[in-house]
């Protein structure tokens, strides 16, 4: 089968990384879905997190494999430095600002959980902390926890620590590791699915929903379609039908976001999430290979792309804003309340991007090399002191002598 000219031209040279605007649009779709879910308007919007996972796996693996092809190596220090500059500044600012706001204005229960969860967020293991506390995901998004949503950031950060090491080992042992990486990603995805099916508790699937081991398939499926063997096979397979494939995949994902409800869809945890991740991975791969199709062009719509560019900070800020500006606090309800909290969240995300993230990521020379290492240590110490210095209210006590 002869490749479609549009598809063929979209395939970048193996050693050259090109920016794909449509993937920014997909980030925008993902964060909008999550925002609508948390404001009560889209029952399956939580699947936007799944889309984020797949995108992360795809982009990081593509980046690392290009580095391997260019230098036969993976520079772990440089990779982690880039990740820290990209993620930590916005996270540290949000953690500090929200913690101080909660300490001043929040009720005692919220203050206690904020100070208790903060160190685990800082260490990128909040998901395991929630599992250890038996915090049910579907009923946990109440007024007491402002950092609950950061479990997904922890999963991605853990992936960033492990996956480059595996690619480095594959590069050292096998030279051209593309097929080995594809095999590792495929096997890891299958193992993760098996673990989810075996460990799920139908009464409360929180353990498998937020566990790194049982959610790894989402990130690994993204990684899988970024490997040249799978990428090239997909390019050949959809050469003539890229537009149709994108429309069908998009309709399937859209229908799932509208129809799925996490509390009444147990099939999600016995293969449904895996199928959604697979569809998302195919969508990403086809969009990357056929950027001139209708769906890909829609995803490059400027407002959607801009939302994708601020998606990380928007994800960080949206849930604390929703909690702190709840309907009980604002007196607003329905779409009026949704518009207000969305506007505040977008405003905070934009300030974070343009005043914190971009200056440090692109312009701050002190954030690289030894200066960057010292800055990282200083931020970590400052956050640790924040959790230790702020006093938590004493737990509520019950006078048993007054009980009947």
Residue 370 pLDDT > 80: yes
For residue 59, pLDDT over 80 is answered with yes
Q: Report the alpha-carbon distance of residue 225 to residue 221 in Å, rounded.
A: 6
CB atoms within 10 A of CB 17: 13
Place of tokens 């329905």: 334
Scan for tokens 């506007």, then name that residue: 343
Backbone angles phi, psi at 333, to 5 degrees: -145, 165
What ranges make up the beta strands (E) of 77-161?
A: none
pLDDT tens across 105-135, in order?
999 999 999 999 999 999 999 999 999 987 6
Please check whether residue 137 is in contact with residue 126, taking contact to mean a CB–CB distance below 8 angstroms: no
Residue 97's Cβ-count burial label (10 Å; 0-12, 13-18, 19+) is middle
pLDDT digits (tens, 9 = 90+) for 13-56: 444 456 889 999 999 999 999 999 999 999 999 999 999 999 99
Of 386, 359, 298, residue with least CA distance to 117 = 386
Q: What is the pLDDT of residue 24?
A: 95
Neighbouring CB atoms inside 10 A of 332's CB total 16
Domain boundaries, the chain: 5-390
Neighbouring CB atoms inside 10 A of 338's CB total 18
Rg (CA), the chain: 22
User: Per residue in 303-338, pLDDT tens?
Assistant: 999 999 999 999 999 999 999 999 999 999 999 999
DSSP symbol at 258: H
Residue holding tokens 């508790």?
A: 201
Mean local confidence (pLDDT), 181-190: 95
């Amino acid at each position: 089968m002869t490749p479609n000219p549009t598809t063929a031209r979209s395939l970048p040279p193996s050693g050259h990384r090109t920016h794909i605007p449509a993937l920014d649009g997909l980030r925008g779709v993902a964060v909008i879905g999550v925002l609508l879910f948390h404001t009560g308007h889209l029952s399956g919007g939580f699947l936007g997190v799944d889309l984020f996972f797949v995108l992360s796996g795809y982009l990081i693996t593509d980046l690392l494999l290009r580095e391997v092809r260019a230098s036969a190596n993976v520079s772990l220090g440089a990779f982690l430095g880039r990740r820290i500059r990209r993620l930590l500044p916005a996270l540290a600012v949000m953690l500090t600002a929200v913690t101080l706001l909660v300490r001043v204005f929040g009720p005692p229960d919220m203050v206690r959980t904020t100070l208790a969860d903060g160190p685990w967020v800082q260490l990128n293991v909040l998901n395991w902390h929630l599992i250890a506390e038996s915090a049910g995901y579907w009923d946990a998004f109440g007024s007491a926890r402002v950092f609950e949503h950061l479990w997904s950031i922890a999963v991605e950060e853990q992936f960033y620590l492990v996956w480059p090491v595996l690619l480095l080992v594959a590069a050292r042992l096998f030279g051209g590791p593309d097929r080995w990486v594809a095999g590792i990603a495929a096997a890891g995805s299958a193992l993760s699915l098996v673990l989810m099916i075996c460990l799920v508790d139908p009464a409360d699937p929180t353990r498998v929903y937020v566990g790194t081991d049982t959610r790894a398939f989402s990130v690994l499926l993204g990684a899988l379609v970024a490997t040249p063997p799978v990428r090239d096979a997909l390019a050949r397979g959809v050469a003539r039908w890229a537009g149709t494939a994108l429309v069908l995949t998009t309709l399937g994902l859209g229908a799932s976001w509208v129809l799925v409800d996490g509390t009444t869809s147990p099939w999600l945890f016995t293969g449904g999430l895996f199928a959604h991740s697979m569809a998302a991975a195919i969508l990403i791969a086809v969009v990357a290979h056929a950027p001139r199709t209708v769906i890909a062009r829609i995803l490059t719509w400027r407002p959607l792309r801009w939302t994708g560019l601020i998606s990380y900070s928007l994800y960080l800020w949206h849930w604390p804003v929703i909690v702190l500006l709840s309907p009980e606090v604002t007196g607003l309800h329905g779409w009026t309340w949704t518009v207000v909290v969305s506007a505040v969240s977008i405003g905070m995300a934009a300030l974070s991007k343009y005043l914190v993230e971009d200056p440090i990521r692109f312009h701050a020379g002190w954030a690289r090399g030894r200066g960057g290492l010292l800055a990282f240590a200083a931020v970590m110490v400052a956050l640790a002191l924040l959790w230790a210095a702020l006093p938590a209210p004493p737990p509520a006590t019950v006078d048993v002598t007054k009980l009947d």
